[in-house]
Structure 1
């Protein structure tokens, strides 16, 4: 599912937010390719302490609709651990491309995947498919809440192990400075992280779009401090593709 198309995988990974107990926050994103609109996304985070729920919708827009309609609906539920970590218990994605719909469902316990299903099952090329091993499913993050990070002074000095229901990947981050951002009526300073995409399993070997991302050296995610729970969440991402730069920009952030 990830990077097919890249816009939906990247937006899912970028889309995280936070709220204090009993509060609801809404994040909205604009997705452009070479400056042209291709998608829009909305994510709503509800924290009920100790639980939380993140629901999201992603829809193709602009020039993307000329080729095919794309739509995704996602929901993550879990627990707030130590008042600063979002630990998922269930991740669900309903992904529609044209007339084809596929449902991904993942259940977690203690950061480990305990069950994962795809309905209907995709056809696999056994000669090319790199299966996800049991060890790949231990100590992983969901692709929605996994980029909500604690304010520990090491925002960019970490590796994020992501499992999206099909593919297992690492996002290896390193510091790249700071930059100003504006998202609707919210503005401030963001921490800029350089990101290296490392696919682990759950994809076809030799797939050109994955190999392109693997070799890319100009991927970035910007993180800004949220209003509550001493957490940082993404406000911007830049993802290189073979046809140009994909930009995901928050137009509404945490309010």
Structure 2
């Protein structure tokens, strides 16, 4: 796949919102997603969310399938935990274990009041000369890639800009409303809010990289549906362009 799996994972993960009544003890809920390149299945994902009265945790797994496994096996396990702050979810710790064939890399990020206080990557990656380094300023007032795409019902669903940091790269997602669409899957049937999303790399990437330049010049589309019991909007569908074709992320289960 030309598009990095971490980028796809960031979009898929936000779909994993569990319906849970406010003020109850934490409740665990599992959602499942299919990922395809055009009509060809390439991956599956499963996510579980736990929401309490003031805190939350999202855990997920991702694994390649179909034609991708012929080339290399790709898998990932990811978690984020944090607290609910008004109209947003504020991460405290984000972790990703990413495996490509026999290679494994672990990303661990600690946040405080929306700012990154520590990042650990094992093993550390070698940086080419044309690498754009992440600065201290880049790590202020940022969102993690999992809960960054979850919006409480009283927040704007397509905000103008989402500053995302995933442990390696710092990017902006620029959102524009595109109306509504009907969406139906196991556990949900109703209206979804459609957002056009443009990817703007800021730092933590190799300058001139072909897939980065391709994404910079095009746009993605994400549909957000309301999870009624927890009163938030989260993605149920995403269309992500790559140089090999369109990648589609579809919730095959959303809610009960």
Q: TM-score range by the shorter chain?
A: over 0.9
The answer on 1:92 being equivalent to 2:95 is yes
- Residues 13 and 146 in structure 1, CA contact (< 8 A), matched pair in contact too: no
The answer on 1:149 being equivalent to 2:151 is yes
SS of structure 2 residue aligned to 1:27: strand
Instruction: Give the Cα–Cα distance (whole angstroms) in 2 for the partners of residues 204 and 4 of structure 1.
Output: 14
Q: CA deviation at 1:153?
A: 6.2
Identify the residue that residue 77 of structure 2 maps to in structure 1.
73
Identify the residue that residue 67 of structure 2 maps to in structure 1.
63
Instruction: Give the Cα–Cα distance (whole angstroms) in 1 for the partners of residues 109 and 232 of structure 2.
Output: 24
Q: CA deviation at 1:4?
A: 6.5
Instruction: Give the Cα–Cα distance (whole angstroms) in 2 for the partners of residues 77 and 153 of structure 1.
Output: 20
Q: CA deviation at 1:18?
A: 4.2
Q: CA deviation at 1:7?
A: 4.0
SS of structure 1 residue aligned to 2:70: helix
- Residues 190 and 224 in structure 1, CA contact (< 8 A), matched pair in contact too: yes
Identify the residue that residue 41 of structure 1 maps to in structure 2.
45
Structure 1 residues 11, 106: CA separation in 2 closer, same or farther (over 3 Å shift)?
same
The answer on 1:112 being equivalent to 2:111 is no
Identify the residue that residue 226 of structure 1 maps to in structure 2.
227
Question: Structure 2: 5+ residue runs without aligned partners?
Answer: none
SS of structure 1 residue aligned to 2:255: coil
Cα deviations across residues 145-195 of structure 1 (Å, max 9, x unaligned)? 110012236311321111000000011000111111112232111000001
- Residues 8 and 58 in structure 1, CA contact (< 8 A), matched pair in contact too: no
Q: CA deviation at 1:52?
A: 1.2
- Residues 2 and 243 in structure 2, CA contact (< 8 A), matched pair in contact too: no
Question: Structure 1: 5+ residue runs without aligned partners?
Answer: none
RMSD: 1.5
132, 135, 138: which one pairs with 1:133? 135
Structure 1 residues 55, 212: CA separation in 2 closer, same or farther (over 3 Å shift)?
same
- Residues 187 and 255 in structure 2, CA contact (< 8 A), matched pair in contact too: no
- Residues 11 and 248 in structure 1, CA contact (< 8 A), matched pair in contact too: no
Identify the residue that residue 204 of structure 1 maps to in structure 2.
206
| TM-score, normalization by structure 2 | 0.93
SS of structure 1 residue aligned to 2:252: strand
Q: CA deviation at 1:19?
A: 4.0
24, 29, 51: which one pairs with 2:33? 29
Cα deviations across residues 197-243 of structure 1 (Å, max 9, x unaligned)? 000000000000000000003x1000000123321000000000001
Q: CA deviation at 1:35?
A: 1.1
SS of structure 2 residue aligned to 1:140: coil
Instruction: Give the Cα–Cα distance (whole angstroms) in 2 for the partners of residues 19 and 184 of structure 1.
Output: 14
- Residues 150 and 232 in structure 1, CA contact (< 8 A), matched pair in contact too: yes
| TM-score, normalization by structure 1 | 0.93
The answer on 1:50 being equivalent to 2:54 is yes
Aligned residues: 250
